[in-house]
Structure 1
Amino acid sequence: MARKFTRVGVVGLGTMGAGIAEVFARNGLSVVAVDRDQASVARGRGHIEHSTGRAVARGKLAESEQAELLSRITFDTELKALADADLVIEAVPEQLNLKRAIFTALDEICGPETILATNTSSLSVTEIAVATSRPGKVIGVHFFNPAPVMKLVEVVRSVVTEPDVVADIEAFVASLGKTDVTIGDRAGFIANALLFGYLNHAAAMYSERYASREDIDAAMKLGCGLPMGPLALLDLIGLDTAYEILDTMYKQSRERLHAPTPIFKQMITAGLLGRKVGRGFYTYDGPDSPKVVADAHTPVEQPDTSAARPVQRVGIVGSGTMAIGMVEVFARAGYDVHFIARSAQKVETVEGELRRSLEKGVQRGKLTAEERDEALARVTGSPRLDDLASMDLVVEAVVEEITVKQALFANLDEICRPGAVLATTTSSLPVIECAAATSRQADVIGLHFFNPATVMALVEVVSTVATAADVEATALAVCNRLGKHPVRCGDRAGFIVNGLLFPYLNDAVKMLQAHYATSEDIDSAMKVGCGYPMGPFELLDVVGLDVALAIQRVLYQEFREPGFAPAPLLEHLVTAGRLGRKTGKGFREYT
């Protein structure tokens, strides 16, 4: 039977420690909260009072409940106040020597059966445990910020943690209403190991001036449904904290992708630590404020599209899901659309799918019957590329094979009128290789729509080294008319979204391959701990493992980064025909 904890201690009353103390008190526990001096204790008390005060203001907590909660917490500046605690959790800054010193002191103060826990997010639990005479009773209990809100807790066992201690802590975490994943002692554990590699990559992308901070963040929020963009999240975490976590992970893994990108050190040295000081990647209206204010790097609200070429007639090449979605999006926005499919039968199929989709929109109240009929009236189709001769803009959505796209662009170059803009919706292939198949490289651009095109607001506007300025302006103007959110970037493999997303997915496969955690626990950690809409393995099964492998290979070939090499497990599953939901088997099996 699991051990019951009634008196618990918290060491360190920063944002995280104060949040953990609040969680314990909310669950009826008697809490002793300790920090180094009265000023730190006062700040910690203020954190808890402010957090519970917000809950009262939102009607989630009665004033009497707030008073009762606060009465359960005793504040002190001496570790000896923890002498009779059943469980003590440490939440001081991520400095190994500091944590070890605290655990050594707690080992002498607390009873022999007291469990000592660390809330470290990246340091070795084992190295902390051996600073005591009871390493078997030391465990990692990693809460996520803000602790009263976030449901995930990573329970981290070292090689010497006693099984009963693990079981007792798992039951305790469940009693708090939290979701537990239990894992071994490895830098970053699950969530941070996957999250911070992605954040590091995003910071590098920004420092290379590949895209603006606003476009990087918007791309990941709109393209992947993430609650925050990576640079805004780094500001929230604190750049100094992010640097420490990455540095710890790199020292243990020697994985170059975990080596903190130089911009972290530069910004830390300049005092740009994020929200807590009012400046980081963004500027805020004060320390600890979430409100972003304009600064010298803030772009104008709408990029100048005055030089845009006039576009009314749009051609779409392709008959798959993406092509059909784009036909609908352009037609509903008032463009005259002519699509090209391989055969007359395919043309009829596209027309049927388009009618069905528009009818669903009518039934759901998203458009009127009149708007449906007007959109259908604007659409024509044929199997003849020559019918695109008078188009102002042609967008291809054919198979992701560069030779097929190059042949198509060579044909479009001969067929389309001078001044027509030619666009590819490739998600990873080089746009310039499509442009090089034509005699009008300046007229070629990438317009990467996301699936389903009728729903997803994001479009990556990809300019090559040869794309004319008025062609980019045309693409931006078209996106605005479509009601889409364009983000601008250069022509390199993966662009923004896939360039950040797929290395993260590949890292998740490597973690599973190393038997560090199950696919279910990894998915749970990223959904519950980081607020992701889907876990990495759920997403891979939806995308298709063959598609993911192809994109990862393109990224590896482009950047020659060893960490981008596709995980062997991913290659083996594709070889075995386990491609995800479309085949009924991927990382999971489907019925």
Structure 2
Amino acid sequence: MAREFARVGVVGLGTMGAGIVEVFARAGIEVVAVEVDEAAAAHGREHVENSTARAVSRGKLDEADRTALLERVRVTTDLTDLADVALVVEAVPERLELKAQVFTALDGICGPDTIFASNTSSLSITELSVRTERPGRVVGMHFFNPAPVQALVELVRTVVTEPEVVEDVRELAVRLGKSPVVCGDRAGFIANQLLFTYLNQAVGMFESHYAGREDLDAAMKFGCGYPMGPLALMDLIGLDTAYEILEEMYRQSRNQRHAPAPVLKQMITAGLLGRKTGRGFYTYAEPGSSEVVADGLTPPPPGADDSALRPVSRVGVVGTGTMATGITEVFAKAGYHVVVRGRSESKGDGAVAAVRKSLEKAVVKGKLSEADRDATLGRITTTVDFSGLAECDLVVEAIAEDLGVKQAAFSALDEVCKPGTILATTTSSLPVVECAAATSRPEDVIGMHFFNPAAVMKLVEVVSPITTSPEVTATVRDLCAKIRKAPVLCGDRAGFIVNALLFPYLNDSVAMLEAHYATVDDIDSAMKNGCGLPMGPFALLDVVGLDVSLAIERSLYQEFRVPGFAPAPLLEHLVTAGRLGRKTGHGFRDYS
């Protein structure tokens, strides 16, 4: 039977500590909160009072419950007042020696059954536990900020933590209304280890000028549904805080991908710490503000220089599959005449029928008028011969993800299309320059990677190999804005932006599971509840398809040769076993 915790202690009343105090008190638990001096204690008490007052004003807490909550909180400056508590949560600044000193002092004050928990986000729980006479009763209890709101609590066990201690604290977290996940003692635990590796990689992309800050952030927001882009999130966290977490992760792992990108140290030295200083990757209206203001790195809006753009009024689409029909719908709805090239008349008719079906759904939902439906369909024609695309200003290839097939299509287009026609490929993983090499006009070839479903997803990755003309890139970027898409510019390398950031993160998750560090459910919960992602990594892998994911990870590893990019053996084994995700009914989870 789980242990009852009627009285607990919290050491440290900063933002996190005060929030943890409020969480315990909300659950009806008496809290003894300790700070270093009277001023800090008063500030901590004020934080709890202000937070609960806001909850009352928002209708999330009534005044009587607030009064009762505050009566359960006792603030003191004397550690000996914790002598009779059942649990102490340490929430002092993120310095190992300071935390260890607190635990050492508490060890001589508290009873032998008292559990010690650290709220650290990255430091070793093992190193803290050995500074006590009770290492088996020391755990990590990592709340997320703001603690009264965020559901996730990471419970960190060491190799000597007693199983009943983990279970008791897990049951307590549930009583607090939290979603606890259990993991081993590794820097960054679950959420930060996966999150900061991804953030560090995004910073490296920015540092190498592979993509701009706005493009990196828009790619992950619109391509993956993330609440914030990686560089905006770094500014929110604080570059100094992110650097310290990465440094600790690297100290423990010696994984090169955890080594902080050099530009972080340079920015920290220059005082560019993010929102709190008013400048980081972005510039803000003032320190602490979330309002981004234009600076020297802000790109001009699409179409700012019309003189550099090629006119586009007639668009060709090569292909009749799902992506091709979606792209056809997007351009036709935006007012462009679209010529669809299919391998047969029936294929072309099928593509038009698919567009009609999609438009009918929009009409039924009240999102499109019947007149607009008819006008859109009236702008679509079909052809069997490539020559039917001769007068197009832009041709988008959307056929099988096979380089030989795509090169044959580009060679055929090169022969029939008029001079100045832009030739674009929707490839998600193949080198765009290889398609350009199949033509006599490589300067006119570019990547336009739409995301599925093309009619719904806003993102288009505009991929410019070294051969692409700047005016072609500018024209395509402007065109994307005109068809109500969010264009992001990047270079021509495996994964472009989204897949290059997403799939190493997914692979890291599989490796974490393979090492028995945490379970599928706990890892998914950590990333959804701790980082606000729309899906956990394993739920997403099962949706994408494990075979598709494996192919992308292999291409990334082949290009970059980074050890951490090598597909996790577990993923290889699941694919070999035919467990491909939802489409087969079995993946990381089983589906009915």
Q: TM-score, normalised by structure 1?
A: 0.96
1:280-339 superposed Cα distances (whole Å, 9 cap, x missing partner)? 222233333333333333334445251211111111112221111111111111111111
Q: Is the 8 A contact 2:187 2:193 kept in 1?
A: yes
1:201/1:303 Cα in 2 relative to 1: closer, same or farther (>3 Å)? farther
The answer for the alignment partner of 2:48 in structure 1 is 48
Q: Distance in 1 between matches of 2:269 and 2:146?
A: 27
1:53/1:284 Cα in 2 relative to 1: closer, same or farther (>3 Å)? farther
* AA at the equivalent of 1:356: K
Q: Is the 8 A contact 2:303 2:475 kept in 1?
A: no
* AA at the equivalent of 1:3: R
* AA at the equivalent of 1:340: R
* AA at the equivalent of 2:163: P
For residues 416-565 of structure 1, what are the structure 2 equivalents within 5 Å?
Answer: 416-565=417-566
The answer for the alignment partner of 1:332 in structure 2 is 333
1:55 deviates by: 2.4
Q: Is the 8 A contact 2:222 2:459 kept in 1?
A: yes
* AA at the equivalent of 2:267: M
1:233 deviates by: 1.3
The yes-or-no answer on 1:342 pairing with 2:343 is: yes
1:213/1:56 Cα in 2 relative to 1: closer, same or farther (>3 Å)? farther
Q: Distance in 2 between matches of 1:567 and 1:302?
A: 40
Three-state SS of the structure 2 residue aligned to 1:395 is strand
Q: Is the 8 A contact 2:302 2:474 kept in 1?
A: no
Percent identity reads: 66
The answer for the alignment partner of 1:258 in structure 2 is 258
342-351 vs 212-221, greater mean Cα deviation: 342-351
1:450-499 superposed Cα distances (whole Å, 9 cap, x missing partner)? 11111111111112212112211211221111111111122222111111
* AA at the equivalent of 1:487: V
The answer for the alignment partner of 2:149 in structure 1 is 149
Q: Is the 8 A contact 1:304 1:473 kept in 2?
A: no
353-362 vs 87-96, greater mean Cα deviation: 87-96
Q: Is the 8 A contact 2:136 2:162 kept in 1?
A: yes
1:537 deviates by: 1.1
Q: Is the 8 A contact 2:302 2:477 kept in 1?
A: no
1:45/1:410 Cα in 2 relative to 1: closer, same or farther (>3 Å)? farther
Q: Is the 8 A contact 1:545 1:579 kept in 2?
A: yes
Q: Distance in 1 between matches of 2:231 and 2:402?
A: 33
The answer for the alignment partner of 2:231 in structure 1 is 231
* AA at the equivalent of 2:299: P
Aligned alpha-carbon RMSD (Å): 1.7
Q: Distance in 2 between matches of 1:351 and 1:447?
A: 21
For residues 186-225 of structure 1, what are the structure 2 equivalents within 5 Å?
Answer: 186-225=186-225
Q: Distance in 2 between matches of 1:35 and 1:289?
A: 29
The answer for the alignment partner of 2:297 in structure 1 is 297
Unpaired stretches in structure 2, ≥5 consecutive residues: none
Three-state SS of the structure 1 residue aligned to 2:460 is strand
Q: Distance in 2 between matches of 1:142 and 1:109?
A: 23
Q: Is the 8 A contact 2:345 2:384 kept in 1?
A: yes
1:242/1:482 Cα in 2 relative to 1: closer, same or farther (>3 Å)? same
1:13 deviates by: 2.0
1:398 deviates by: 1.4
Three-state SS of the structure 1 residue aligned to 2:154 is strand
For residues 76-87 of structure 1, what are the structure 2 equivalents within 5 Å?
Answer: 76-87=76-87
1:180-229 superposed Cα distances (whole Å, 9 cap, x missing partner)? 11122222221111111101101111111222212211111111011111
The answer for the alignment partner of 1:375 in structure 2 is 376
Q: Distance in 2 between matches of 1:299 and 1:309?
A: 20
Unpaired stretches in structure 1, ≥5 consecutive residues: none
1:276/1:43 Cα in 2 relative to 1: closer, same or farther (>3 Å)? farther
* AA at the equivalent of 1:250: Y
Q: Is the 8 A contact 1:276 1:287 kept in 2?
A: yes
Three-state SS of the structure 2 residue aligned to 1:120 is coil
1:138-188 superposed Cα distances (whole Å, 9 cap, x missing partner)? 111111111111111111111111122111111100001111111222222
1:46/1:509 Cα in 2 relative to 1: closer, same or farther (>3 Å)? same
Q: Distance in 2 between matches of 1:284 and 1:14?
A: 25
Q: Distance in 1 between matches of 2:287 and 2:21?
A: 24
Q: Distance in 1 between matches of 2:392 and 2:287?
A: 53
1:531 deviates by: 0.9
Q: Distance in 2 between matches of 1:110 and 1:150?
A: 29
The answer for the alignment partner of 1:128 in structure 2 is 128
1:382/1:484 Cα in 2 relative to 1: closer, same or farther (>3 Å)? same
Q: Is the 8 A contact 1:305 1:474 kept in 2?
A: no
1:37 deviates by: 2.9
Q: Distance in 1 between matches of 2:492 and 2:590?
A: 37
Q: Distance in 2 between matches of 1:264 and 1:69?
A: 42
Q: Is the 8 A contact 1:129 1:138 kept in 2?
A: yes
Q: Distance in 1 between matches of 2:567 and 2:251?
A: 23
The answer for the alignment partner of 1:17 in structure 2 is 17
278-287 vs 370-379, greater mean Cα deviation: 278-287
1:64 deviates by: 4.1
Three-state SS of the structure 2 residue aligned to 1:81 is helix
Q: Is the 8 A contact 1:115 1:165 kept in 2?
A: yes
Q: Is the 8 A contact 1:305 1:477 kept in 2?
A: no
Q: Distance in 2 between matches of 1:45 and 1:403?
A: 68
Q: Is the 8 A contact 1:181 1:525 kept in 2?
A: yes
1:353-399 superposed Cα distances (whole Å, 9 cap, x missing partner)? 21111100101111011111111111122332221111110011112
The answer for the alignment partner of 2:357 in structure 1 is 356
1:86 deviates by: 1.6
1:490-512 superposed Cα distances (whole Å, 9 cap, x missing partner)? 22221111111011011111111
Q: Is the 8 A contact 2:303 2:309 kept in 1?
A: no
The answer for the alignment partner of 1:395 in structure 2 is 396
* AA at the equivalent of 1:395: V
The answer for the alignment partner of 1:285 in structure 2 is 285
Three-state SS of the structure 2 residue aligned to 1:33 is strand
The answer for the alignment partner of 2:366 in structure 1 is 365
Q: Is the 8 A contact 2:121 2:189 kept in 1?
A: yes
Q: Distance in 1 between matches of 2:71 and 2:271?
A: 38
1:117/1:72 Cα in 2 relative to 1: closer, same or farther (>3 Å)? same
Q: Is the 8 A contact 2:545 2:581 kept in 1?
A: yes
Q: Is the 8 A contact 1:94 1:244 kept in 2?
A: no
Three-state SS of the structure 1 residue aligned to 2:388 is helix
Q: Is the 8 A contact 2:302 2:481 kept in 1?
A: no
* AA at the equivalent of 2:15: T
Q: Distance in 1 between matches of 2:434 and 2:43?
A: 58
The answer for the alignment partner of 1:106 in structure 2 is 106
Q: Distance in 2 between matches of 1:387 and 1:355?
A: 22
Q: Distance in 1 between matches of 2:524 and 2:384?
A: 44
1:132/1:226 Cα in 2 relative to 1: closer, same or farther (>3 Å)? same
1:96 deviates by: 1.6
Q: Distance in 2 between matches of 1:41 and 1:279?
A: 31
Three-state SS of the structure 1 residue aligned to 2:108 is helix
1:47 deviates by: 3.3
* AA at the equivalent of 2:265: K
1:509-562 superposed Cα distances (whole Å, 9 cap, x missing partner)? 111111222222211111111111111111111112222122112211221211
Q: Distance in 1 between matches of 2:9 and 2:387?
A: 76
Q: Is the 8 A contact 1:421 1:444 kept in 2?
A: yes
Q: Distance in 1 between matches of 2:72 and 2:294?
A: 43
* AA at the equivalent of 1:541: D
1:110/1:278 Cα in 2 relative to 1: closer, same or farther (>3 Å)? farther
1:126/1:557 Cα in 2 relative to 1: closer, same or farther (>3 Å)? same
